[in-house]
Amino acid sequence: MANYRTYPHNQRNYPRNQKTVRTKKAPKVNPIVKYFKELGTCLAEGSTCVKLSTVFMGLGHIYNYQFMKGVLVFIVQALFIVYLIFGAAPNLAKFSTLGTVKREALFDPLTMQNTVNDYDNSFMILLGSVGALFIIFMFFLFWVSNIKSMYKTQLLLEARKHVNTFSEDFKELLGEKFHITLLSFPILGVILMNIIPILILITIAFTNYDQNHLPPSELFTWVGFRNFVKLFTQTTTSSFGYAFRRILEWTFLWAFFATVSNFLLGHLIALLINSKLIKIKRFWRTLFIVTIAVPQFVTLLLVRNFLADSGIVNSICSSMGITAFLQNVGLVSKNISYIPFLTSPGWAKVTIVIINIWVGIPYQILISTGILLNIPRDQIEAAMIDRASPYAIFRNVTMPYVMFVEGPTLVTDFVRNINNFNIIYLLTQDVYVTTDQALANSHGKEVDLLVTWLFRLTNEYYDYKMASVIGVIVFSICSIFTILSFSRIVAGEREEVFM
């Protein structure tokens, strides 16, 4: 009797003649533990030359006749020591207080001019200290890498094998290890543009850096978790806790509806265009794609003007009796003579989601069209032979394949919508005015996302400490969601089904 395996994409049974062999997986080793264990092995079993390289880093390379490599390593170590003394030490010495000397302008009777004292700049101290700690960490990794390289060279010499010269190592970076050369530039960009700014953002969240403590005229200092407590609690003097809950709820709702609506409607339109019943497919595809050519900010600003309380859309709705009808059914207050598309909380949120559909669907149509054209025909033909209905083919073949291919894209789209600054800000800035006093006290609005609230706190109110706390929260939410989602996608066994 044959064994059967059920595939989830079309629920058909395929014979399996071979028995599944289960192999026992080796226990996973923590990479950090493995990293330091290897370092301990190098230090314990390394020769005297390896041990001396812990202090004089280039000595081992010179001992092994790798003179150029040894000189370069010596130069890196010397530069690091110079930076540590003259660059890192002065900032790290003040890192615990972020400065104690305020800026003062004193009148000098000898020169008859105002002179500025030798003051401390809290932000520059913070920036220099974070940079110094990061450079120290990177040098530690370089130091460990040098120790491991020395130990590897020792093993090669003991086995009487060839040890690369500097020119051979350089040629490898342009040959077998060219991928390392290519990746070094993006990694450097990520470090400078992402990692270091995130570290500075995190540190500012633990300070009192705001409009009352703006360098260089004023100093700011550490306040511990006070800002985080302020964000998560509501008191008689602070409504940040209330504002954070309201804005966080809308951020998640917005991200969900923006992602799902664009995905479903874009995919359905792509299915419709690809249908055999539709003629001149290229025309319809071009018609939707043309909207991509118009810059998004232009579209959003035009739509904002069209939907203004005195805009053209309201004029048309009023003349056609739509406004009066909505007033009669209770969707629009009778105290106003227009539809508050962007000035009422409920109307504004619905309007923003609809406009986002208009802006985002063309991109989804492009993606879905490419996926639909690459669905394996044998699966569809097998379903048709089994007399499956069009709906059954869509549910059991088309959608599982689309979700398999586009799953990572949906994750990134959800995260992108959490941080979708343009559509919220451009549609509501200088148009929407909050009527919630608690939100207004925290400089927030009902239609704000966390990222637009963060921007307003920094750009308009100079409340950098609370903006940094919100930034840390946004970064944590996006990171955790992305890691969990991608781990589930990668951990699945669907590649065997569709590949």
Q: What percent of the chain has pLDDT over 90?
A: 41
Q: How many C-alpha atoms does 445 have within 13 Å on its Cβ side? A: 26
Query: What mean pLDDT is predicted for residues 431-454?
Result: 91
Q: Count how many Cα atoms sit within 13 Å of the Cα of residue 183 in the half-sphere of its side chain.
A: 5
- Mean of pLDDT values over 485-492: 67
pLDDT at res. 20: 46
* pLDDT value, residue 7: 40
Mean per-residue pLDDT for 274-300?
Answer: 81
More confident residue, 166 or 1: 166
Among 160-164, 241-245, 289-293, 493-497, top mean pLDDT goes to 241-245
Q: Report the sign of the C-alpha dihedral through residues 46, 48, 53, 59, in that order.
A: negative
Is the pLDDT at 68 greater than 60, yes or no?
Answer: yes
User: Average pLDDT, whole number, for the chain?
Assistant: 85
Q: State yes or no: pLDDT of 10 exceeds 50.
A: no
Rounded Cα distance between 23 and 25, Å, is 6
Task: Of 49-63, 103-117, 300-314, give the range with the top mean pLDDT.
Answer: 300-314
Pick from 141-155, 241-255, 375-389: least confident = 375-389
Q: What is the pLDDT averaged over residues 324-333? A: 91
CA-closest candidate to residue 435, choices 323, 322, 315, 343: 343
Q: Output 115 or 321, whichever has higher pLDDT.
A: 321
Is the predicted pLDDT of residue 178 greater than 80, yes or no? yes
Alpha-carbon span 444 to 440, nearest angstrom: 6
Q: What is the pLDDT of residue 497?
A: 53
How large is the average pLDDT for residues 132-152?
A: 92
Confidence of residue 496 (pLDDT cuts 50, 70, 90): low
pLDDT tens per residue, range 289-323: 777 888 888 889 999 999 999 889 999 999 999 99
The per-residue pLDDT for 377 is: 75
**Cα 101 from chain centroid (whole Å):** 37
209 pLDDT above the threshold of 80: yes
In this prediction, residue 199 carries a pLDDT of 93
Token code pair at residue 183? 């990746």
Confidence of residue 368 (pLDDT cuts 50, 70, 90): confident
Q: Token pair 């003649």 is at which residue?
A: 17
What confidence score (pLDDT) does residue 5 get?
38
Which residue, chain included where needed, has tokens 């033909």?
Answer: 381
Distance (Å) of CA 319 to CA 305, 307, 334, 339: 18, 15, 16, 12
User: For residue 14, is pLDDT > 50?
Assistant: no
Taking the CA atoms of residue 180, residue 35, residue 196 and residue 174 in that order, the dihedral angle to the nearest 10 degrees is -10
CA 31 to chain centre: 24
pLDDT band per the 50, 70, 90 thresholds, residue 353: very high
- Is the pLDDT assigned to residue 23 strictly greater than 80? no
Rounded to the nearest 5 percent, the helix, strand and coil shares of the chain are 65, 5, 30
Least confident window among 215-224, 258-267, 269-278, 477-486? 269-278
Mean pLDDT, rounded, for 249-268 = 92
